[in-house]
Chain A
Amino acid sequence: MAAVDDLKFQEFDDAANLLAANPDATTISIDEPAEIPKNQHSRRQEPGREEDDELLGTDDSDKTELLAGQKKSAPFWTFEYYQTFFDVDTYQVLDRIKGSVFPVPGKNFVRLYIRSNPDLYGPFWICATLVFTIAVSGNLSNFFIHLGKPTYHYVPEFRKVSIAATTIYAYAWLVPLALWGFLMWRNSKVMNIVSYSFLEIVCVYGYSLFIYIPTAILWIIPQKVVRWVLMMFSLCLSGSVLVMTFWPAVRDDNRRIALATVGTVVLFHALLSVGCLAYFFDAPELDFPAPVIPAHNVSTVITKS
């Protein structure tokens, strides 16, 4: 039964005072837009835990934790822990992809796009797309190269999908692991200003592989020069993203070690692209068969003398 007082207009007191007066009340906090999804997640998934926090009066500590940017507060065996790695919106993923394709000289990819929020969505699905793109493009390009020949029977070459998957996922996860271990080791010896977490390194590597997706599609063109030009171009773009990310992390170190680290990063990247081009895409054949007889004569001349 509503008392007459309830129908009169009331001034609402400050949230802190109200909460102090009545700790059991449910609270809604409207934070910055970037944090609203996090609040929604935690409130939707585990309302029981939120109520416990409010009852214990730890609501303030919960908020300060969120504002400090620390999100990984759930233990690693719960589902919510892994949800923190997928806390990105569509526009954020598109921004990160754009940042990896158009590297701005002097701007660090990690600091600019990822610093607060490394995600696993980008690396995982970019690698998956790259695996299937390379397999499909390789198959298509071989089909077009061998099209006219009477002895050629088209096969889908499905084995290559599993080989491509192993290679690309190993590159995208094991090389960052090795690099992270190496940087941690150097960090213990030389105090570096910039240090990256493992997930941030995985993120950079994953997003830097995006440029290879259109490159793989364009590799269908059966011209050797075109393929190598494309490869150089994409290697420069993604290599520069990696170099600009990792140079600040090693520049305080011994000069030679710094150069060796960055050089190795670029070398592995180049090895990946050259290897993919060589294995999945047959070489476009020459227009005329290579002369056999003169070579035979030359070899017999050499053996005689």
Chain B
Amino acid sequence: MHFFKCSQGNPNPSPNPNSTNLNVSKTMQTSYFLRAVALINMAMPASSTMQRGRSIRRAAYASMARAAGSRRVWSRAVLRRLQHRRERLIRRPSGAGRRFVIRRRIRVSTPREPTQADVLRRLVPGGKAMDFCNLLEETANYIQCLSTQVSLMQTVADSISG
């Protein structure tokens, strides 16, 4: 199975280097996602629909982050999260131990109302550690990758449902 055939050699070479990068990135995102879905299909034939749905959702964010690579704070944060999850599952292979990990966090009391910037920091992975300027830039890139992922998933779903 040659999943990466289409990522080699851009059939439409464009003079604008930025759009070429975007095309390559979109292609990579597509290949990662389809490969992950194929693996889910093969490896979990007996799983419940809900479980498979969760795996597909993880695959969606994973392929976004892998395509963006380590260049972005948000993609590094997503990949870190997934890595921690894998390590946790290796320690407890059943995976059905404590479903809810209680994380003790030292709460810095914020008496003021959370601003929109605070909300944004929660929504963008790794947002808490960024300064405001980086946050805006990361947000723009995150939104681009998210909407690419959504349209890619729509295309796959439409083509499967015939």
The judgment on whether A and B are partners is: no
